[in-house]
Structure 1
Amino acid sequence: VNNCAAALALVATALGGELVIARGELVEIGDGFRIPELLTSTGARLREVGTTNRVAVADYTGALGPDTGAVLKVHPSNFVVRGFTRSADVAELSTALAGTGVPLVADVGSGLLLPHPLLPDEPDLQTTLADGADLALCSGDKLLGGPQAGIVLGRAELVQRLRRHPLYRALRVDKTTLAALEATLRGPVPPVRRMLDADLAGLRARAAAVAAALRARGVEADAVEATARVGGGGAPEFELPSAAVAVPLAFAGPLRAASTPVVGYAAGDRTHLDLRSLAPADDERLTAMVLEVAATWT
């Protein structure tokens, strides 16, 4: 379907009835849209369980009734709750729901296909399904690295039920999106995966080379340690070690307006250009754009 919110709307409409969901997972997603409002707009009824910071398996099972359409677990991919917390994972819920006939639906958010060593707390599709989720929902355009889309995986009979629902006709994607998604999965490694898997030593070497080239042309530049984040609804607050080229703070605005725009970020009194989000083949162009900006000040 056209995004993960559409996948949730389709699930809520097709499965119907009452959806059991933890209070701490009634999250707000992009552009001010809220999961509970999205779900209730379909006509579904929400049965909230637990508290904002703590929920147990017994809270879910105690809320089951004849009108329960599904138990819904939503990964809070844009924030982190710390301190006195507790949650029920997919494996626990799957075991508890066995024999009830109530499907377990897990919205894992970012579309990470497999466990990744750099993102130990980010849920992935393979583990979610192996742990017993009947349906797993995700975005196609975050850690999966493809086009904007919402993907539903899981038990064949449930997926077929969604596919045959009239609402699917309004939410399905076109052939261009399907082709882009297939290319993402079958083709070369997408940029987001290359950025995530970038070698730290290689990033440092590239930063040193770019900084040296700039200094040779009279630009104040240094290779510095940096911290990157996945962003965009994946791995909230998880930091990735990186390397950047630091140039004067005043370069930030002109670089964004350069003939090839360069977006850095302010760090103290310098502008940092993090190389984790830049392909190695573009280092020379980055150097040229910084020199272009420097030339306007001479």
Structure 2
Amino acid sequence: MINATGVVVHTNLGRAPLSRAALDAVVAAGGATDVEFDLATGRRARRGRGALAALARAVPAAGGVHVVNNNAAALLLVALTLAPGREIVLSRGELVEIGDGFRIPELLESTGARLREVGTTNRTGLRDYTEALGPQTGFVLKVHPSNFHVTGFTSAVGVAALAAELRTRDIPLVVDIGSGLLAPHPVLPDEPDATSTLADGADLVTASGDKLLGGPQAGLLFGRGDLVERLRRHPAARALRVDKLTLAALEATLTGPPPPVAAALDADVGRLRARAQSLAAALPADADAVALDCVAAVGGGGAPGVELPSAAVSLPERYAAALRAGRPPVVGRLEGGRCLLDLRTVSPEDDELLAAAVRACSS
């Protein structure tokens, strides 16, 4: 399938496409593999130590790292470990619902923890947090509202200010950054990343592996070594662990060349325009193909409001259904009564394949 929607991390199309290195690693791990074995000593080793070591190198500020099967599982494990029968303090402005009706508050309450909501939808101050803290507080949670943006009369407490206050009370601060950036990205200045969040004082950070990191579905945990060890030793950690294929893909994503998501985010708009013009010129006249500038999106419930300058090949609307039915299927987007094939999310290696798909629909 070719994703020509212009949505870099398209949830309905499987989120992040894996790199060639990750795909090769998955194939290699399909047989016998050293997932829990040390080839040098011939003895049992910690499961997934290669992927864990790669994560630790990518985020040196983390005292410990752990991997579970998705970000929801990461939050679940944190709540089960740090707040069984206790309170989780959370701003009302961060009571997030994501796709398919999934609500983070309901996930947390399913563990037996109690939510202590503070502040209001649009404004939460440091005093709101401090007045809610007590002997029943398991941890304070901050959730990045990755799929919506509140503007106007608003205020929120940053990680650094909240961490400084909680440090005096020995209460952990857990931050769900969501999208999985490991370090700051120039295209996404307002998107939180694991390195900066830990530097600001967070005790634990959770993130997704299959969004902006560009890897397989996984829940990534970074933070204090003692807390990560407690998470790892909790009985539920066994139920939430990832398989050898995920570990192989994650390690290859971290150690190999930039994955497709990174390439799409960093794509030069001038080169995208040149590709669009070349493709449009190569298509038959009855395709009525036109190269034009457009706007792509990050997607994956991340970076709401961020517009990525892009270029597309514009076709008559009737091409949309025909392209989806082709082999390989091509998914574009409808805009202004036309079918746009946005090249920000199409690998240059697939340009000829894309052109052939359009020609097949024109014949």
TM-score range, shorter chain: over 0.9
| Partner Cα distance (2:362, 2:318) in 1 | 10
TM-score by length of 2: 0.80
Q: Report the Cα offset of residue 72 of structure 1.
A: 0.2
The alpha-carbon deviation at position 218 of structure 1 amounts to 4.1
* TM-score scaled by length of structure 1: 0.97
Does the residue aligned with 1:226 lie in a helix, a strand or coil?
strand
- Describe the SS at the equivalent of 2:191: coil
> Which of the residues 326, 343, 352 maps onto 1:258?
326
Map of 1:59 onto structure 2:
128
Q: Which range is displaced more, 152-161 or 258-267? A: 258-267
Q: Report percent identity of matched pairs.
A: 65
Candidates 335, 345, 352, aligned match of 1:284: 352
Aligned length: 294
Mapping for residues 1-298 of structure 1, pairs under 5 Å: 1-16=68-83, 17-215=86-284, 217-295=285-363
Q: Which has the higher contact order (CA 8 A, sep 6+)?
A: 2
AA paired with 1:42?
A: T
After superposition, the C-alpha distances for 1:57-100 in whole angstroms (9 at most, x for unaligned) are: 11111111011110100011111112111111111111121221
Question: C-alpha root-mean-square deviation of aligned residues, in Å?
Answer: 0.9
Q: How far 1:237 moved relative to its partner?
A: 2.3
- In structure 1, the residue matched to 2:9 is none
Give, as a single letter, the amino acid of the residue that structure 1 aligns with 2:311.
A
Q: Structure 1 stretches of 5 or more lacking a match?
A: none
Deviation, 1:269, is 2.2
- Matched position secondary structure for 2:238: helix
Q: Structure 1 residue 151: deviation in Å? A: 0.6
Q: Distance in 1 between matches of 2:142 and 2:286?
A: 55
Distance 1:58 1:179 in 2: 45
Distance 2:88 2:126 in 1: 15
Which consecutive residues of structure 2, in runs of 5 or more, have no partner in the other structure? 1-67
